[in-house]
Structure 1
Amino acid sequence: MLTGGTFWSLVERRAELSPDAPMIVDDRDSALTFAAYRDAALRAAAGLVDLGVGQGVSVSWQLPTWTSTLVLQAALARLGAVQNPIIPVYREREVEFCVRQTGAQLFLVPSVWRGFDYQAMAEGIAAEVDGLDVVVCDGELPTGDVSVLDGIPAPQDAEEIRWVYYTSGTTSNPKGARHCDTSVMASGIAMVERQHVTADDKFGLAFPFAHIGGVSNLSVSLSSGCTLVIAETFDPADTTALFARHGVTLVGGGPAFFMAFLAEQRKQPGEPILSKLRLCSGGGAPMPGSQHYEVMAEMGGRGCGHAWGMTEAPIIAQNTPDDSDEKLAETEGRPLAGAEIKVVGFDGEPADVGVEGELWIRGPMVCRGYMDEALTASAFDGDWFHTGDVGFLDTDGYVTLTGRVKDIIIRKGENISATEIEDLLFAHPKVLDAGVIGLPDDERGERVCAVVELASGADGIALAEVGDYFRASGIMPQKIPEQLEIVDSLPRNATGKVLKHELRAQFSD
C-alpha cells in the first residue's frame, strides 16, 4: 500500500510500481493502465497550461463518470490548480453559486448529456460571471506538449487547499467544503487496510464520480493497485452486466444502489449476478440492518461493509469483512486510521458509551473548513467538526447512526429517531423504501409522518395497517406514524440519500 505525499506523487509512484496493471475499465470495455493514466494526465495538464491553468487557478468541472474525467483530476493536481467538481444533477442556480464562490476561471462541461444541454447552461452562466471561460469536453480533454511542464514544478504541500466540494444546503445555498490532498486521500488510503483491498480487486463505481466518493475511491486504486470499473450512468441491468463481465469483487455506492442490485439478483434467484463479489462497500445514507443479511444470503460474499462519511469527510468510520454479522448489519464500523469520534449529548456534555448524542469528528480526512467562514465558525469547535449526525458508540468503539440532529422528531417533548422508524418500515413486505419526517403539529409539537415507496406488486397500504404492524413489533406507541404518504419515488441526491427537506416542504401543509 502506498501512502502519504501529494495526490500527484501518489499517481507517479503507482505508475512506477505497477505501470502495466489495469487501472480503469469503462462501460465500453476500454482499459487504461496506471502508466497510461499518468501519461494522459501529463498531456492534459500541458493542454490546460495553454488555457491559463496553473498553481492556485480555480477550475470548476461538471462531467460524467468518464475515464477522461478521472484523468482530469490528476491533470489539475499536477498543476496545483484548485479544482471544484460539480455533480451533474446541479443546475443553473447551484452551478452559478459554485463558480462564483470559488472564483472559477475555467469551467469544463459536456455539450449535451442525458438530454440536458450543459454547454448552453455553462455559456449562459459565463455571460453573467466575469472572467469565466467554458471548455466543452465530450470525452476528450485539451492536450499539449508535455515539455511545457518542465519548468512547472509539481505541488509539494499536501495541506494546501486544492479541492472544493459542495454539499446541498437544506434551505440555502450549497456549502463548499475546502479540502487538501491529505483530506481527499486519507479515507481512501485507510479504506485499503480496513477492507483488505489488494491489486487483485476489481472495484465497481456505481455513483457519480464528481461526488467526493469519486476521489476517495480513486485514492483506493492508486494506493492499492486495484482496478476501477466505472459506469457512465447507473442502470441496474447494464451496470450489473458491466460489473459481471469484469469480475467485480467490490461494489462501491450506498444502500439505494445495493437495493437495486438486490432487485436484479431476485430476477435470477440462486445464480449470483456478481459471482466474484466479496463485499458491498459504501455509505452516503443510513442502511437498514436487514440489507446486510439480504445481500449476503442472495448475492454472496460478506454482505455490506457499511461506512459513515460525508462531503466534509469522505469516510470517517467503516466496517471490515472480519466483523461479525451483527456489527456489519447494525453499525457503521470503527473510526479509520487517524480519525476520532466523540458523542456530545443534547445537553452539550460528553455522552457515555451507548448514549445518543451528536457525533463530533476530527482527523486527517476532515475538510479544512468551508468557503463561507461563518459556516466554518458554526460547524467547528477547534479541530472538532460537528457533523449534525446523531448516534452512539458501543464498548468496542463501533459507531451506530440513529438520525440527524434535524431528523430527531420531538413529539410532546419525547425525542424520536426517524431512522429507527424507517428501519421498521423497510422490513414491511409492502414497503420498498421510506423517509420519516417530523411535521409541525399544534397539539404534539411535531407529528411522525412516514413517506413510503411501495414494493413491486403491493396493492397499497393504509395508515391503520401500518399502526397494527408497529404495535405488533412492540415499539413504543409514540413512535407509530401518525400520517402516511405514498409516493412513486422518494426525492434523492446523487448518492441516493433521501432529501427530507423536500418531503417536509411537500407535506408540511
Structure 2
Amino acid sequence: MRKIPQHLVERYEAEGWWTSETIGDALAGGLASAPDARFQVHSQVRPWSGTLREVETVARRLAAGLRARGVGPGDVVAFQLPNWMEAAATFWASAFLGAVVVPIVHFYGRKELGYILESVRPRVFVTAERFGALEFQADLCVDVPIVGVVGRDFDDLLAEQPMAGVLGTDPAGPALIAFTSGTTRDPKGVIHSHRTLGFETRQLAARYPADRGVQLTGAPVGHFIGMLNALLIPILDGSAVHLIDVWNPGKVLELMTEDGLTVGGGATYFMTSLLDHPDFGPQHLPHMKYAGMGGSSVPVAVTRRMTDLGITVFRAYGSTEHPSVTASRHTAPEIKRVCTDGEALPGVEIRFTDAGEILTRGPDLCLGYTDDALTAAAFDANGWYHTGDVGVLDADGYLTITDRTSDLIIRGGENISAVEVEEVLLALPGIAEVAAVSAPDARLGEHVAAVVRMKPGCAAPTLDDLRAHFAEAGLAKQKWPEELHVVEDFPRTASGKIQKYRVRQDVAAGQ
C-alpha cells in the first residue's frame, strides 16, 4: 500500500472527513435506527422479502459462527454472490467482525476468480452453487479454510445466537479490496480503508436528492459501488433495500409501475436499456425523476435525450480507485449537469500533466493495489493518483473528460479522440450504444473502427451512411470510421462500462 503524506492525513482528520468510525460501526448505527425498513430481493430463482432487522440477525449469526471458527479483525472474507440477501448478510457480518471484505462480481469466470482468490488468500469464501454462468468451483477453494455455498451449506456457518456489538479494528486499516477489470489483463485489487470507504459513503448519501423515491439496485453487489449503493447507503438513510439479480429492462419497468420503485441512473447502459425498451412509456417517467450518471463515458446525446423527457440528469466522474472525484448537484445549471462531469467534491484536488492526464487526490482515494508494482506506477510520493484519463476544466471549475490516454487513436501521427467520434455516432438514428476504437492499419498505423449496438428493430447503417453523416457533422476526414461492426452487446465491467481493451482486441483479431 502507498504511504499517504502526513499533511494530507492531518488535513482530512481536521476537516472531519476521516473519523474513528469503522464500517461496522456505521452499519450497526444505521441498522438500529430503522430496523423495520423493507429488504426485498426480486428474483426468479431466489426471491426474499423481510426487514433489515431480519437480515441483520442472519448477518450477526454468521458473524458469530465465523468468530467461533477463528475469524476476526483483519482477516479476509470474500464472496461471489448475485444480488441476494446472503450477499448483504456476508458483507455486514464481515464489517461487524472488522474483517476485510472482498466482493467478487458474480459473472466473473474461473480465470478471474482463481486470480482473485490467489491474490487475497481469504479465510472465508461464500458463493452460490449455480446462478447463470456462475458455478461453484470447488477445486479453486481447496486452500480456503472456510467455504459456504448458498443453497447448500451456507446455513451451517450460522451460530444459534447472534454476535452482539462490533469488534474493534483500526479505521485506517483495510476494510475492502475491490477488484476491477477493464484496463489490464488481470483484475486489479483496489484497497480501501474504513476511512476512505466511510467518507465516500457519507458523501454519496448526502448528495442524493431527498425526493428520489425507493431505489431499485440492479448493479451487481459484487462490484463495490453497487455494494455501497445497495447495502450501505440505504442503511445510513434508514430506507428500504430493493435488489434485482438479473437486469431485465422489461421487469424493471414493471416494478416501477406495480411496486413504485425508482431507477436513479448509473452507467449509461442501465438508463438507455429502459428508454429503448418497447414497454417504456410516459407512465415510467415519474419513477425516473433523477439520473445520476457515471461509471463510464456519458455521451451528451444521451443526457440531452433524457433531459428532453423531463429527467433531471447530473453527471459524475470517478473510479474504483478514486470513487468520487467530481459531480454536479441535481440543482446545478442544466448546461453543467448535462455537458460536464461536474466540479471537484469536498477535499478533492485536481491537477493535469503536460500531456493533459488528470491527477487526483482526496479523502476517498484508495490505499493502493494488492500488486505493489501497480501501486508504484499509479501513485506518486506526493499522494497524486495518475488516472489515465484526459480532461479539461472550464472557467467555473467544472471538469469534462475528453478521453483516456489508452483510448487515443493515432492515425498517421494524428491523435483522434474516441469520445469525439462516439458523440457523432450516437447522433445517428437507431444507434443505442457505440465504441470507437483503434484498428490496425498497414499504411497509417491505426484507423478508426466503429462498433455499434442498435436499438431493437432498427436497421444498422452502412459504412457509406457513416461517411455521409460525418461529412455533415463537419469532422476532419481522418476521424471518420473506416470499419463498421454491429454487435448484439459489448463486453462489460461489473458497473456496465464497456471494456474497450477487449473491443480493440476483437477488432484487431477480425472478430
TM-score of the pair, normalised by structure 2: 0.88
The structure whose RCO (Cα within 8 Å, separation 6+) is larger is 2
Contact 2:336 2:342 in 1 (8 A): yes
| Counterpart for residue 460 of structure 2 | 460
Q: Structure 1 residues 491, 249: closer, same or farther in 2, change over 3 A?
A: closer
| Counterpart for residue 212 of structure 1 | 224
| Stretches of structure 1 lacking an aligned partner (at least 5 in a row) | 347-356
Secondary structure at the residue paired with 1:273?
helix
| Counterpart for residue 325 of structure 2 | 316
Please tell me whether residue 189 in structure 1 is matched to residue 202 in structure 2. yes
Secondary structure at the residue paired with 2:192?
strand
> In structure 1, what is the Cα distance between the partners aligned to 2:224 and 2:436?
26
The residue type equivalent to 1:277 in the other structure is M
| Counterpart for residue 497 of structure 1 | 497
Matches within 5 A, 1:401-480: 401-480=401-480
| Stretches of structure 2 lacking an aligned partner (at least 5 in a row) | 1-16
Please tell me whether residue 6 in structure 1 is matched to residue 17 in structure 2. no
| Counterpart for residue 350 of structure 1 | none
Secondary structure at the residue paired with 1:489?
coil
- What's the CA shift for 1:274? 4.7
> In structure 2, what is the Cα distance between the partners aligned to 1:102 and 1:437?
33
Q: Structure 1 residues 345, 138: closer, same or farther in 2, change over 3 A?
A: farther
| Counterpart for residue 135 of structure 2 | 118
| Counterpart for residue 109 of structure 1 | 127
> In structure 2, what is the Cα distance between the partners aligned to 1:111 and 1:25?
21
- What's the CA shift for 1:450? 0.9
- What's the CA shift for 1:156? 4.1
Q: Structure 1 residues 457, 249: closer, same or farther in 2, change over 3 A?
A: closer
> In structure 2, what is the Cα distance between the partners aligned to 1:23 and 1:441?
56
| Counterpart for residue 94 of structure 2 | 76
The residue type equivalent to 1:463 in the other structure is L
Please tell me whether residue 377 in structure 1 is matched to residue 376 in structure 2. yes
> In structure 2, what is the Cα distance between the partners aligned to 1:475 and 1:42?
60
| Counterpart for residue 297 of structure 1 | 308
Secondary structure at the residue paired with 1:443?
coil
Q: Structure 1 residues 258, 104: closer, same or farther in 2, change over 3 A?
A: same
- What's the CA shift for 1:327? 1.6
- What's the CA shift for 1:294? 2.0
| Counterpart for residue 59 of structure 1 | 77
- What's the CA shift for 1:146? 4.1
- What's the CA shift for 1:360? 1.3
Contact 1:188 1:219 in 2 (8 A): yes
* CA shift digits 1:48-90 (9 cap, x unpaired): 2234322222221100101221121111011011221110111
| Counterpart for residue 286 of structure 1 | 297
Contact 1:45 1:75 in 2 (8 A): yes
> In structure 2, what is the Cα distance between the partners aligned to 1:267 and 1:15?
37
The residue type equivalent to 1:215 in the other structure is M
* CA shift digits 1:130-175 (9 cap, x unpaired): 344421013965321446657xx62242221121111125453211
- Which segment drifts farther, 204-213 or 4-13? 4-13
- Taking only aligned residues, the RMSD between alpha carbons, in angstroms, comes to 2.4
* CA shift digits 1:84-119 (9 cap, x unpaired): 1110111111111111110112211111112x4522
Q: Structure 1 residues 237, 44: closer, same or farther in 2, change over 3 A?
A: same
Pick aligned residue for 1:260 from 273, 288, 295? 273
Secondary structure at the residue paired with 2:458?
coil
Q: Structure 1 residues 67, 281: closer, same or farther in 2, change over 3 A?
A: farther
- The percentage of counterpart residues that share the same residue type is 30
* CA shift digits 1:329-360 (9 cap, x unpaired): 211212222222222231xxxxxxxxxx2111
Contact 1:391 1:399 in 2 (8 A): yes
| Counterpart for residue 14 of structure 2 | none
Contact 1:408 1:415 in 2 (8 A): yes
Pick aligned residue for 1:16 from 23, 32, 37? 32
Q: Structure 1 residues 107, 15: closer, same or farther in 2, change over 3 A?
A: closer
4+ residue segments displaced more than 6 Å: none
Name the count of aligned residue pairs.
485
| Counterpart for residue 7 of structure 2 | none
Contact 1:243 1:274 in 2 (8 A): no
Secondary structure at the residue paired with 2:468?
helix
Q: Structure 1 residues 375, 186: closer, same or farther in 2, change over 3 A?
A: same
Contact 1:440 1:447 in 2 (8 A): yes
Contact 1:216 1:314 in 2 (8 A): no
Matches within 5 A, 1:222-233: 222-233=235-246
Secondary structure at the residue paired with 1:328?
helix
Contact 1:358 1:389 in 2 (8 A): yes
- What's the CA shift for 1:249? 4.3
Contact 1:197 1:224 in 2 (8 A): no
Secondary structure at the residue paired with 1:15?
helix
> In structure 1, what is the Cα distance between the partners aligned to 2:182 and 2:275?
31
| Counterpart for residue 136 of structure 1 | 149
- What's the CA shift for 1:408? 1.1
Secondary structure at the residue paired with 1:310?
coil
| Counterpart for residue 354 of structure 1 | none
Secondary structure at the residue paired with 2:232?
helix
- What's the CA shift for 1:318? 1.8
Contact 1:206 1:253 in 2 (8 A): no
TM-score of the pair, normalised by structure 1: 0.88
> In structure 2, what is the Cα distance between the partners aligned to 1:201 and 1:361?
33
> In structure 1, what is the Cα distance between the partners aligned to 2:481 and 2:377?
33
